[in-house]
Amino acid sequence: MSLTIRSILLALITFLSSFSLKAQQGKEEEKSLLWKISSKDLKKSSYIFGTIHMICPKDYVWTEAMKNAFEKCQEVCFELDLDDPNMMMEIATGMLNKDGKTLREYFSDTDYIKLERYVRDSIGMDISVFSQMKPVALETMFVTHNNECDNPISYENNLMADAQKVHKEITGLETVSEQLDLFDNLPVDSVIKDVMNTVNGIETGTDDYKKLIAAYKKQDIKALYKLIKASEKIDLDLAGFLDVRNEKWIPRMTEKMDHGAIFFAVGAGHLPGENGVLNLLKKAGYIVTPVK
């Protein structure tokens, strides 16, 4: 069961990142995934790096400048505190349907048979593992397994492993419960539709994703923005996924940076835009500059 929970956790932050990349809007920024955060009041500069939570090895971007910035920082801060020993149990509990409704009750008999077969043949799991979970647990799992390659890797996993090797502190900008609360606001009908689109082989957003990856590899936030603004409108109010979270992060980032150099690693979609973290940091009085 622990492997399932770990997979759901990785898929959860992948799912959140996919919304971030498709929905954030605002003014254009310079080309860089890594940004230095400084001010006259900070003893040491911090850095913020934009990730894509799961990515194919051939598309992985990690330069010498990024490595150097990482090494300068005493703490690595992700969206979640990924080495919290209680986190996986919180994820598992949060994905459970608390009203007692089973997964099967959300689908017609015909669709459930298709779903059961897909989970077994494509994911390599028995659908019974998800019997007491919310449909969104399936969708987050599908995001991971529908990657463009067979062996996607995680920036978060790699950065956490590097931090642990040299005993850097690992923290998070928000709690598991804060992230899970976002999913309670997702329309269940839309989630079920997306699940069945995957099961039926109906691809949505594949071309957009490939273009976003291409822009990401070039560290071209300007191009990334143009793609984001041209994306199809998502049938959701994403303020809670993006703007509200970004605004909530700024005072938390400030508190951390007051105590030392922090390497923040969050979904790349959170960085640019009028309500993106970079602009909000500038409004808070920080100097934010791209690192080449």
Residue 96 phi/psi, 5-degree rounding, is -75, 145
pLDDT surpasses 90 at 131: yes
Q: 140 pLDDT band (50/70/90 cuts)?
A: confident
Residue that wins the pLDDT comparison between 161 and 14: 161
Residue that wins the pLDDT comparison between 259 and 186: 259
Q: Determine which of 147-151, 173-177, 242-246, 283-287 has the lowest per-residue pLDDT on average.
A: 147-151
Residues belonging to the chain = 292
Span 94-104, average pLDDT:
90
Instruction: Give residue 271's Cα distance to chain centre.
Output: 12
Name the percent of the chain lying above pLDDT 70: 82
Span 275-282, average pLDDT:
94
CA distance 185 to 140: 15
Tell me, what's the pLDDT at 16?
Answer: 52
Structural element, H or E, at residue 247 = helix 243-257
Mean of per-residue pLDDT scores for the chain: 84
Span 121-139, average pLDDT:
91
pLDDT surpasses 70 at 249: yes
Tell me, what's the pLDDT at 2?
Answer: 33
* 199 neighbors 114 (Cβ within 8 angstroms): yes
CA distance 223 to 21: 12
**Could you state, in order of their start, the residue ranges of all structural domains in the chain?**
2-290
Q: Determine which of 34-48, 91-105, 143-157, 167-181 has the lowest per-residue pLDDT on average.
A: 143-157
Span 67-82, average pLDDT:
96
Q: 200 pLDDT band (50/70/90 cuts)?
A: very high
pLDDT surpasses 50 at 86: yes
Question: What is the reported pTM?
Answer: 0.85
Report the candidate in 52, 12, 21, 58 with the shortest Cα–Cα distance to residue 150: 58
Cβ burial, residue 169 (10 Å; 0-12/13-18/19+) = middle
Residue that wins the pLDDT comparison between 207 and 64: 64
Beta bridge partners of 262: 75
Q: 10 pLDDT band (50/70/90 cuts)?
A: very low
